Amino acid sequence: MRKIAIAFITLVAFFPGISRAVEPEEMLGDPALEARAREITRELRCVVCQNQSIDDSNADLARDMRVLVRERLKKGDTNEQTLAYLVARYGNYVLLKPPLQLDTALLWFSPILFLGLGVLLLRGYFRTMRTAPASQTPLSQSEQDALEHIAEEG
Amino acid sequence: MAAEIGQFSLITSFLIAIVQATLPLYGAATNNARLMALARSAAIAQCLMVALAFVAITYCFVSSDFSVGIVAANSHSDKPLMYKIAGVWGNHEGSMLLWVLILALFGLAVALFGTNLPSALAARVLAIQGMIGTGFLAFIIFTSNPFMRLHPAPVDGNGLNPLLQDPGLASHPPFLYLGYVGFSMAFSFAVAALIEGKVDPAWARWVRPWTLLAWCFLTMGIMLGSLWAYYELGWGGWWFWDPVENASLMPWLAGTALVHSAIVVEKRDALKRWTILLAILTFSLSLVGTFLVRSGVITSVHSFATDPTRGVFILGLLIATTGGALTLYAIRAPSLKLGNLFSPVSRETSLILNNVFLVSLAGAVFVGTFYPLFVSAVSSDQISVGAPVYNFFFPPMMLVLMIIMGVGPFLSWKRGRIEDAWMQLRICAAIAAATGFTVLWLSWGRGSFAVPALAISAWLALSSLLVLARQLDVASGSPAKIAARAVGLPRATYGFVIAHIGIALVAAGIAGVSAWTTETVTKLNVGASTSVGSYDVKLVSVGKSNGPNFEALVATFDVTRHGQSVDTMIAEKRYYPFPGSETTEAAIRVRPLDVLYLTVGDQDMAGAWTVRMYAHPMVTWIWFGCLVMVVGGTISLTDRRLRVGAPRRARPVTPPLVPQAV
């Protein structure tokens, strides 16, 4: 099964180039509803492609998912309800923007954690500098010469 | 014959690399001048042998020798010469050979131009380069041999994926590799410095030009990839946050940080440990990039070969390189002296903040790229991390960094005063705010997230220009005096001003195209029209034509704007019989402020054609801004003090204050 999946993925891998994405006949008549559909389909992953949203993909499955999204919207679902419907069918894997939960907390907070760590290290650095002995390494002979040289010229 | 010569050269270069990696290191430790000098000859010989292997495989491609496996799999006798050559690196084995060739070329550059390096440092740097070379040559010889023969040989080849038959993409991998592999120089210098236990401003002066050079190449490589995706993939995307794109972005971010932290080492003799660590991290991230592309461990639109042995081998190399260097760092770094002091408000601090932001961004991109793998390893859950995640943190952090970039140059070294900087910069802040309000007013209700981005871009561009104006003291003196000052100003100053303006252009372009793109997807009969953005587009005709190795469907469009005819545009859909695939050749009309992008798709039963049209405001600024950055970097490289391999000439004639390197 896994082998078939890999073979399939390699097959599809050559196709992103000619992706035609959403086709005119799929689109909804109501521009407001269609705009919402586009917004939602951009956040859903094409599950047989490699890192493409269903809005960008020309795979058959992506097309089916696009149609499904539009059907849900026509039935009056909100954006959240539509997304929830697709997650119920395909799992969190379809969300290009994973929900904030226990196992994704590290992902969502990583930028702020890195920044915080950087600021902490910087604070520590300044603290070390403040407590470091004020006297620097004494000037070497060549430095001393250079200094005198400059002083004489000046 | 050529393949056997290549195979032989490859094995010879591997043996030479082993010599280069070991004896000079021993020589440097025992102060044996002859063994140290061996490093140079070995680097030259290794480069010649790798070059010979590369010429051999190129010859196999050009002469369409289909008894060689990768030629049969990736080339075809009908292919134009340019793409026969580009086909060399359009596959796994050949591209790894290119990787090693570039590594050997950098080694050659040190051997030839680094004659003024202290001999122990040169020997150690070249030995480290030799180690990396040994690892990758072993990888090629044992898992990815490009010279493998087929028996019986096929009559003709499979052809190269037509998407890759494009000048932009033909030059994309070489530039990218020049960048990735170029960072190996900083790595080798860092490891050599750790072995010697000494980092001083002279060290930074040797490292910085190499890093800057690699940075310029990497910027160019990323830019070419993005440009290619835009015009070739047929839907106007220019960045996808694909794992393999992230793989090039991470070393770029770390490398950018490194270019800046090396300034602090050079000018202020501070931040040494961090710079060494950053040099190790930058090259490690380049290796991570190679690993990502070559192992197929993460699904990506770029996946090449997915062979587990290769993945494991590269992972091994990555662990050995990074792990070895970090272990050495842990042992030796504490002995590196703390550098000169500076106050929390100073040029040094602004450069450190630049590093904090850039490295945090690289870290967050790293986490995002590997997170799906991590989650599936620790739980049964499967998640995806796509563009919405990166768009959540990347732009805001970048914008804060751009604000800091504007302030930094106005703070003095060692101890600056924020009030002084503000006095000079408030005019820039005022104009930037005015820009923001103008944009807000003009685009009311549409894409208002572009407002801060454009205001901050304006801020960065203006404050960078103000640096020049201040340095030239434009407000006083005759034009002749200003011109004289302009000639005397260090090239590095022009370089950084230009590069920072490049960043401002990229940011503005990204904001503009993200906020105000308009798109029309519809069906048109021949003779019918539709509109996109402020353009009216009429489908005039659809015909057929034949290219050298493809058949094309050709759609002609008439474009009018406000009733006035502006252009005739031609979009194509091509079919390549070998290897039997299609490409979309969009019709693209480029103007400074916007790009009109038309593609033609399939015909339906009723005879109507599917057309996709996009008006992309400011999109060209992205690539133009990258070019501006590369120009800035290049100008900086020509600065006397930074000239690659020739830093000694830059020494002042008077006895220098900086302690001489041994």
Dist. CA B399–CA B504, nearest whole Å:
10
Instruction: Please state the rounded mean pLDDT for residues A30-40.
Output: 88
Report the pLDDT value the prediction gives residue A141, as an integer from 0 to 100.
72
The answer to which of B194-203, B288-297, B529-538, B645-654 has the lowest mean pLDDT is B645-654
Q: Do B242 and A56 touch (CB under 8 A)?
A: no
Which tens digits make up the pLDDT trace of A6-24? 333 333 333 333 445 778 8
Dist. CA B578–CA B572, nearest whole Å:
18
Dist. CA B493–CA B272, nearest whole Å:
23
- Tell me the chain B residues in contact with residue A143 when contact means C-beta distances shorter than 8 Å: 657, 659
Residues B556 and B568 sit within 8 Å (Cβ to Cβ): yes
pLDDT at A135 over 50: no
Higher pLDDT, B654 or B262: B262
Pick among B235, B271, B293 to test the A interface (most A CBs inside 10 A): B235
- Tell me the chain A residues in contact with residue B163 when contact means C-beta distances shorter than 8 Å: 17
Instruction: Please state the rounded mean pLDDT for residues A50-73.
Output: 86
- Count how many residues are written for chain A: 154
Q: Which residue of A has its CA nearest to B356?
A: A118
- In the structure encoding, which two tokens stand for residue B354, read together? 């630049």
Q: Give the three-class secondary structure for A1.
A: coil
Q: Which of A20, A43, A53 sits opposite B601 (nearest CB)?
A: A20
Report the pLDDT value the prediction gives residue B393, as an integer from 0 to 100.
95
Q: Do B659 and A140 touch (CB under 8 A)?
A: yes
CA B343 to mean position of chain CA atoms:
34
Which tens digits make up the pLDDT trace of B126-164? 999 999 999 999 999 998 899 999 888 888 888 777 777
- In the structure encoding, which two tokens stand for residue B293, read together? 């592309």
pLDDT at B557 over 90: yes
Q: How confident is the model at residue A153 (pLDDT cuts 50, 70, 90)?
A: low
Vertex B505 angle, CA B504 and B511, to 5°: 90
Q: Do B299 and A126 touch (CB under 8 A)?
A: no
The H or E element spanning position B587 is strand B587-590
Distance from CA of B375 to the nearest CA of A (A): 7
pLDDT at B382 over 90: no
Instruction: Please state the rounded mean pLDDT for residues A128-152.
Output: 69
Dist. CA B529–CA B537, nearest whole Å:
5
Residue whose C-alpha is closest to residue B283's, from B122, B134, B129: B129
Dist. CA B466–CA B17, nearest whole Å:
50
Q: Residue A91 — left, alpha, or beta (φ > 0 → left; ψ -120 to 50 → alpha)?
A: left
Q: Do A104 and B393 touch (CB under 8 A)?
A: no
Q: Which amino acid is at B645?
A: G
Q: How confident is the model at residue B297 (pLDDT cuts 50, 70, 90)?
A: low
> In percent, how much of chain B has pLDDT > 90?
63
Q: How confident is the model at residue B299 (pLDDT cuts 50, 70, 90)?
A: low
Report the pLDDT value the prediction gives residue B649, as an integer from 0 to 100.
43
Report the pLDDT value the prediction gives residue B484, as an integer from 0 to 100.
87
Q: Which residue of A has its CA nearest to B604?
A: A25
- Tell me the chain B residues in contact with residue A25 when contact means C-beta distances shorter than 8 Å: 523, 604
Instruction: Please state the rounded mean pLDDT for residues B518-543.
Output: 92
Report the pLDDT value the prediction gives residue B244, as an integer from 0 to 100.
84
Which tens digits make up the pLDDT trace of A104-127? 999 999 999 999 999 999 998 888
The answer to which of A74-83, A139-148, B231-240, B439-448 has the lowest mean pLDDT is A139-148
- Tell me the chain A residues in contact with residue B392 when contact means C-beta distances shorter than 8 Å: 97
Residue whose C-alpha is closest to residue B34's, from B22, B45, B23, B44: B23
Model's pTM, two decimal places?
Answer: 0.90
Q: What ipTM was reported for this prediction?
A: 0.87
Instruction: Please state the rounded mean pLDDT for residues B329-345.
Output: 86
Report the pLDDT value the prediction gives residue A30, as an integer from 0 to 100.
84
Which tens digits make up the pLDDT trace of B198-226? 888 888 988 999 999 999 999 999 999 99
Q: Which residue of A has its CA nearest to B387?
A: A96
How high is the mean pLDDT of chain B? 89
Residues B78 and B578 sit within 8 Å (Cβ to Cβ): yes
pLDDT at B662 over 50: no
Q: How confident is the model at residue B314 (pLDDT cuts 50, 70, 90)?
A: confident
Pick among A114, A130, A145, A148 to test the B interface (most B CBs inside 10 A): A114
Q: Give the three-class secondary structure for B84.
A: helix
Which tens digits make up the pLDDT trace of B477-496? 788 888 888 888 999 999 99
Q: How confident is the model at residue A61 (pLDDT cuts 50, 70, 90)?
A: confident
Residues B635 and B494 sit within 8 Å (Cβ to Cβ): yes
